[in-house]
């Protein structure tokens, strides 16, 4: 079975070589739809064997993607962003997927890097990127486009499936996407999308969060609409969509006077546990909440669970998040919980392991010094072991 790799780009000369070289030999053809580059993106792509087609930008990512799909001629399509690369160890998995006759598409794991100098610091997120080339499978949505109807529904109607795969992409542009210019573009496209098709819960949540990231308080009003929609489905066994986790994050972190939340804090915690038991961001927020209330035992149990999810990479991979919350930060905070609970013997090895951490090493040293002093004083019978230093982040 043959493979077309498709992507869109504008002024991606810095990234496109890495992307195209990563699929060289795996792709039977590469289609790049250029939306108005003024740098050497097109020339670089052509030198690397890509078929380059121009598509004037019309404030619609789905339209640009679909133009690239229209040029493809192979049996399968792998969608690739210009700031991504296919990891070399994924080539065998990719070939195996192309041979599956019962599949309409595959989810791949995208690694979102925290920074260019930290190749091992990332979180993973499932994304639908590999699918059969068919004229009826097209993207929709001006921003964050996806398939409509969802591809798994189309597959089920045909007796096929969308499978998870062992294919991995590495995403190098995550931090750049948080720049104000990209956030402003996203806000404009999200607004247009909601004007085109009002009431879409996914886009309401994304629009509200993007506005708040830009410092625009109008985001609260947008998220109130999303909150009402989610509250109406509060008794359902599963969340209406993965992005509802981000809405719960917002509700837990923002003053109730701003959110007009119909839930109490306790109800939000229960809903987060019921709908998203493996969400790392929600677990981190819940641990902070209990620590601040002085419930160090509950906080420690949540942090232990969070550390396990991070070390085994079994956290919910529906949405991306800051990898630090499954790294050294929860370990430091767990140590502080143990200190507060008088568990100095459990705090000490955690702190010892963090002494060389670039992120929390200084705090670990400070807390370890206090722990060793307390242990000495406790052995001498001059103090209780619970008198710890509160040097953590929780």
- Quick one: 342 exposed, middle or buried, by C-beta within 10 A (0-12, 13-18, 19+)? middle
CATH class label, 277-394: mainly alpha
Between β-strands 161-171 and 84-86, what pairing exists: parallel, antiparallel or unpaired?
A: antiparallel
Closest CA to 114 of 311, 326, 285, 278: 326
* 169 within 8 A of 87, measured Cβ to Cβ: yes
The full set of domain ranges for the chain reads: 3-176, 179-259, 277-394
Structure tokens at 190: 């999200």
Give CA–CA dist 189/192, Å, rounded: 5
Rounded (10°) angle between helices 180-196 and 201-213 = 150
pLDDT at residue 161 in the model: 98
pLDDT in tens, 242-276: 999 999 999 999 999 999 999 999 999 999 999 99
The CATH number of the structural domain formed by 3-176 is 3.90.550.10
Beta bridge mates, 169 = 86, 110
Between β-strands 76-79 and 122-132, what pairing exists: parallel, antiparallel or unpaired?
A: antiparallel
| Start-to-end C-alpha separation, the chain | 52
Three-class DSSP category at 350: helix
Q: In this prediction, what percent of the chain has a pLDDT beyond 70?
A: 94
Share the mean pLDDT of the chain: 94
Q: Report the run of H or E that residue 236 belongs to, with start and end.
A: none
Give CA–CA dist 217/214, Å, rounded: 9
Spatial CB neighbours of 141, under 8 Å, sequence gap ≥ 6: 61, 62, 148, 193, 203
pLDDT at residue 387 in the model: 44
Spatial CB neighbours of 371, under 8 Å, sequence gap ≥ 6: 339, 344, 347, 348, 351, 388, 389
Q: Read off φ and ψ for residue 51, nearest 5 degrees.
A: -85, 120
Q: Read off φ and ψ for residue 136, nearest 5 degrees.
A: -90, -5
Query: How many CB atoms within 10 Å of residue 155?
Result: 19
pLDDT at residue 175 in the model: 58
Give CA–CA dist 390/370, Å, rounded: 10
For residue 379, pLDDT over 90 is answered with no
Q: Which residue has the higher pLDDT, 180 or 33?
A: 33
For residue 314, pLDDT over 60 is answered with yes
Q: What is the mean pLDDT of residues 312-329?
A: 95
Give CA–CA dist 209/223, Å, rounded: 8
- Which pLDDT band, with edges at 50, 70 and 90, does 389 fall under? very low
Question: DSSP characters for 86-124?
Answer: E-GGGHHHHHHHHT-SSEEEEEEEEEEES-TT-TT-EEE
State the pTM of this model: 0.92
The CA-based dihedral angle spanning residues 360, 365, 368, 372, taken in that order and rounded to the nearest 10 degrees:
180
């Amino acid at each position: 079975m043959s493979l077309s790799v498709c992507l869109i780009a504008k002024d991606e000369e810095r990234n496109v070589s890495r992307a195209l070289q990563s699929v060289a030999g795996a792709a039977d053809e590469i289609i790049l739809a250029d939306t108005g580059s003024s740098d050497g993106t097109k020339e670089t792509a052509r030198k690397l064997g890509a078929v380059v087609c121009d598509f004037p930008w019309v404030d619609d990512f789905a339209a640009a993607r679909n133009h690239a799909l229209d040029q493809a001629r192979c049996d399968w399509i792998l969608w690739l962003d210009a700031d991504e690369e296919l990891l070399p160890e994924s080539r065998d998995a990719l070939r195996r997927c192309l041979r599956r006759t019962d599949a309409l598409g595959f989810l791949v794991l995208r690694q979102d890097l925290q920074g260019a100098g930290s190749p091992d610091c990332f979180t993973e997120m499932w994304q639908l990127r590999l699918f059969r080339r068919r004229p009826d499978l097209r993207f929709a949505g001006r921003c964050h486009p996806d398939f409509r109807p969802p591809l798994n529904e189309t597959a089920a109607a045909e007796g096929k499936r969308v499978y998870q795969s062992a294919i991995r992409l590495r995403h190098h542009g995550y931090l750049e996407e948080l720049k104000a210019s990209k956030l402003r573009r996203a806000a404009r496209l999200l607004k247009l999308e909601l004007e085109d098709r009002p009431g879409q819960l996914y886009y309401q949540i994304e629009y509200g969060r993007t506005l708040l990231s830009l410092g625009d308080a109008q985001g609260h009003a947008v998220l109130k609409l999303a909150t009402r929609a989610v509250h109406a489905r509060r008794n359902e066994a599963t969340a209406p969509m993965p992005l509802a986790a981000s809405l719960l994050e917002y509700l837990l972190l923002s003053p109730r006077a701003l959110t007009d939340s119909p839930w109490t804090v306790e109800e939000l915690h229960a809903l987060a546990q019921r709908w998203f038991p493996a969400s790392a961001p929600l677990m981190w927020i819940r641990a902070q909440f209990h620590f601040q209330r002085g419930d160090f035992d509950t906080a420690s149990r949540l942090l232990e669970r969070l550390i396990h999810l991070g070390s085994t990479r079994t956290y919910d991979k529906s949405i991306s998040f800051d990898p630090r919350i499954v790294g050294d930060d929860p370990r430091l905070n767990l140590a502080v919980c143990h200190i507060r609970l008088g568990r100095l013997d459990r705090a000490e090895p955690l702190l010892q392991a963090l002494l060389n951490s670039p992120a929390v090493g200084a705090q670990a040293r400070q807390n370890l010094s206090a722990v060793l002093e307390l242990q000495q004083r406790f052995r001498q019978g001059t103090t209780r072991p619970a008198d710890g230093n509160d040097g953590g982040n929780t």
